[in-house]
Amino acid sequence: MLRLLSLNIQHALPGAGADEAPGPGVADADIRDPTAARSVLAALAEQIHELSPDVVALQEVDTGQARSGFLDQTAVLAELLGWESHRFAAAYAGPVAGLRRRPRRSALTEHADDALGLGRALLGRPPAGFGNALLARHPVTAWRVRRLGRGPATVSRRGDHPIWDPRGYDLATSTMRNLLTATLAPAPADAAAAGVDALSVGTTHLATRTDTAARQLAAAWGALATLPGPHLLAGDYNLRTEELVPLGIGRQVGEGPTYPAARPDHRIDHVLTDPWPTGVNGAPAFPVAPAPVWSGRRYPLLRATAWGTRTFVVSDHAGTWVDLEPVG
């Protein structure tokens, strides 16, 4: 069995579940202070540890941002969990409030990864960015990042300025999106327990416009499906279940509302895996045999054996988790 957790952490801002935090003062923590920010991440790591996932897919993750204590949130969480396999992928480099730009390298581990990184270095600041992250208990043989583009800019009228006056318009641009993937190779003992000897997992955070999110999801699944299987794509899709199903992309596993965290009433955070093979009548074919082939090797499909959602000390999203086992 393998357990995956997906959570939009909203840059580890204390959220609806903060009152249930294992430590004191988390709900009122000012995460602009590095010590307070680390204490919130420690409480989050404790909750993740209690859930005992094998893979954690995160969205809305900060690195080097003033609003979250200038911490590399991915590295701090991995340290607190005691996991060596972790990777951050910036959708954009630069401060949240300021000039955002495409990073030279999405990891943002060095100032040279950002075109304006030298300026931050001179100010004594770490590289800054915002994006997605993956953490895993198992060794990772390959990390990959795929840019998914952004939605169209929109222009809207404001105030009573004449139609020819530029001050009478608001220009809104959308955020760049990306896909971060990891190909896992469980140790022999873990592989036997999980029933797979390789697994490709992706995390993504899609646009808020439904049409743009649908296009980005198709690109993300297409990129993930080229990697060694089986495949899992987790993240904040910004698509409700009734919007996701008609797209016919992958196969959903798990269920339950994830947003808003205080009183979840709909699901926009999802996990997809490989679709079932179908018979000539279009219905799922069982038993699943033979297993699909990737690069000359057969790999099993995955089915969910248990699932659920829960609030954490951070975020306006609830996390969604699923237990998976191989079939075929």
For the chain, count helices (H), then strands (E).
Answer: 6, 16
Please state the length of the chain. Answer: 328
How high is the mean pLDDT of the chain? 89
pLDDT of residue 21: 67
40: which residues sit within 8 A by CB, 6+ positions away?
12, 14, 26, 29, 31, 313, 314
The reply to whether CATH 3.60.10.10 applies to domain 2-327 is yes
pLDDT single digits (tens) 96-152? 887 888 899 999 999 999 888 888 889 888 999 999 999 999 999 999 999 998 777
pLDDT of residue 274: 94
Please name which of 272, 257, 267 lies closest in space to residue 223, comparing C-alpha atoms.
272
pLDDT values of the chain reduced to their tens digit, one per residue, 328 residues: 899 999 999 999 999 888 776 666 788 899 999 999 999 999 999 999 999 999 999 999 999 999 999 999 999 999 999 999 999 999 999 988 878 888 999 999 999 998 888 888 898 889 999 999 999 999 999 999 999 987 776 677 777 788 777 777 775 556 899 999 999 987 665 555 556 788 999 999 999 999 999 999 999 999 999 999 899 999 999 999 999 999 999 999 999 999 999 999 999 999 999 998 777 777 777 655 555 555 556 678 999 999 999 999 999 999 999 999 998 6
Instruction: Spell out a b/e string for 211-248, using b for 16 or more CB atoms within 10 Å of the CB, else e.
Output: ebbbbbbebbbebbbebbbbbbbbbbbbbeeeebeeee
**What is the full DSSP assignment across 116-143?**
THHHHHHTT----EEEEEEEESS-EEEE
